[in-house]
Amino acid sequence: MRGVFLSVFFGAALTLIAAFGASAQQAEIESTISSQFEAFKADDFEGAFQFASPNLQLMFRSPENFRQMVTTGYPMVWRPAEVSYLELREIEGALWQKVQITDGKGFTHLLDYQMVETDAGWRIAAVQILDAPAVTA
């Protein structure tokens, strides 16, 4: 009986530890994305560029190239009116944070942020615009 109790106890403890770790991880990821939004709002593209993964930084080569891509291809992240963090998922070994953004005109956008952990903390490796869910009445 004692063995069963100990197994249940340690199983519950491990579950709590894993849940706390996942919660802390999600908070750090959300903080990284939020920090990039704040840099965008201040037109600090050099600062926003620092939240991109090393691979993205190599691809864009400069904060100016990054600015051009963001302002033309992702205007909703450059000037979000409202941001909501949805689920964090693991897909084929990669972490993806789903984010709902309402732009200044009131339109809702769903984006998926691929996140990678680096020595400097969590960084954004990719952003995909998702199809918005259909609205039903």
Note whether residue 112 is domain-resident: yes
Indicate whether 19 pLDDT > 70: no
Residue found under tokens 């995909």: 128
- Tens of pLDDT, residues 34-54: 999 999 999 999 999 999 999
In whole angstroms, what is the distance from residue 113 CA to residue 99 CA?
8
Number of domains in the chain: 1
Residue found under tokens 């709002």: 41
Q: What percent of the chain has pLDDT over 90?
A: 76
DSSP state of 106: S
- Tens of pLDDT, residues 59-96: 999 999 999 999 999 999 999 999 999 999 999 999 99
* 9-22 average pLDDT score: 48
Which domain does 106 fall in, by range? 2-130
In whole angstroms, what is the distance from residue 122 CA to residue 115 CA?
6
Note whether residue 135 is domain-resident: no
Note whether residue 137 is domain-resident: no
Average pLDDT of the residues of the chain: 86
Going by pLDDT thresholds of 50, 70 and 90, the confidence category of residue 132 is low
Note whether residue 22 is domain-resident: yes
Residue 53: CATH number of its domain:
3.10.450.50
